Amino acid sequence: MSIEPGTLYVVATPIGNRADLSERACSVLGAVSVVLAEDTRRTRPLLRDLGIRTPLLALHEHNEQARVADLVARLAGGEALALVSDAGTPLISDPGYRLVRAAREAGFPVSPVPGACAAIAALSVAGIPADRFAFEGFLPAKAVARRNALDALRAETRTLVFYEAVHRVRDTLRDLAATLGGERRACVARELTKLHETVRDGTLAELSAWADADEDVVRGEIVLVVAGAADAAPAGLDARTLLDELARELPAAKAAQITARLTGEPRKKLYQWLVDKGGV
Ligand code: SAM
């Protein structure tokens, strides 16, 4: 396969099963002048097993900014470069955007060699609507910040996708159930494409109880997929109670408008109810 000079190739590598590396990815890695790797110790065995001798250069969170100018100069000199991360698609919760931006701003082509991505793989098997989703990456590690981040997602109607470190997964499932409601559907996708692949779905309450009891859940790598907030009012949120509360603080029209948005009840009907009650 021919590659274009002066091009940065962003190459996806497997998230577990080596056979998921595409033929094109293999050709590009073998043909560029250097492979920029998040961790050369992780990428070296992959290249070696493929019989690829392209030199490796470390490009990670801590040296990316410092290396960008030199790498853009290499593109200007006509070299083709490949960017890979430890696993999956670079830039997706992985380093690389500074280099991609700098290459694009300098006018060099940046070309994707797509392949595995844990978030997309999890969405494809979760059985939760995937036509609209919000990829949230890693939640904050500290408990309070994590709860605040989840609070902000309470009303999000798109499916939510999280990456999570295994040692925090039990706490996160507990926080998800407490914040978003134990009845929400969700899926734990663990060790995808690997020997111990486990895809488990259920409500957040069920998954939290299962994770607390399961020894294996704290090993390996995990994606959490959580259904978005239902468009209709959550159980227990009574439209008239909400309307009453809001009407104490806001003009009637505004209170009816917000209640309609949150509960799905017709705005005019809610407003009329306030009128009938003598609140307008
Ligand atoms: N760039 C990668 C991608 O495209 O998926 C993600 C890199 S991020 C630093 C690593 C996280 O991805 C892990 O903590 C885990 O949440 C998820 N992950 C990676 N491989 C996985 C796998 N085989 N099964 C489940 N989750 C995985």
User: Which of 116, 140, 171 finishes a domain?
Assistant: 116
Q: What is the pLDDT of residue 109?
A: 98
Per the domain annotation, does 2 fall within a domain?
no
Ligand 1 atom at minimum distance from 191 CA: 24
Look at ligand 1, atom 16, and give the residue with the nearest C-alpha: 163
Q: What is the pLDDT of residue 192?
A: 98
Nearest-10 crossing angle of helices 267-276, 252-263:
130
Shared domain for 167 and 189, answered yes or no, is: yes
Domain count, the chain: 3
217 lines ligand 1 (CB under 6 A): no
> What is the CA(22)–ligand 1 centre distance, in A?
18
Shared domain for 48 and 101, answered yes or no, is: yes
Tens digit of each residue's pLDDT, the chain (280 residues): 689 999 999 999 999 999 999 999 999 999 999 999 999 999 999 999 999 999 999 999 999 999 999 999 999 999 999 999 999 999 999 999 999 999 999 999 999 999 999 999 999 999 999 999 999 999 999 999 999 999 999 999 999 999 999 899 999 999 999 999 999 999 999 999 999 999 999 999 999 999 999 888 888 999 999 999 996 455 556 788 888 889 888 999 998 888 888 877 788 888 888 888 776 7
Q: What is the pLDDT of residue 263?
A: 76
Shared domain for 15 and 103, answered yes or no, is: yes
Q: What is the pLDDT of residue 232?
A: 47
Q: What is the pLDDT of residue 236?
A: 52
Q: Which domain holds residue 271?
A: 239-277
Shared domain for 91 and 190, answered yes or no, is: no
CATH number of the structural domain spanning residue 67: 3.40.1010.10
> What is the CA(149)–ligand 1 centre distance, in A?
20
State the DSSP H helix or E strand holding residue 8, giving kind and residue range, or none if neither: strand 8-11
Which of 139, 222, 225, 226 to mutate to test ligand 1, by most ligand atoms within 8 A of the CB atom? 222
Q: What is the pLDDT of residue 239?
A: 80
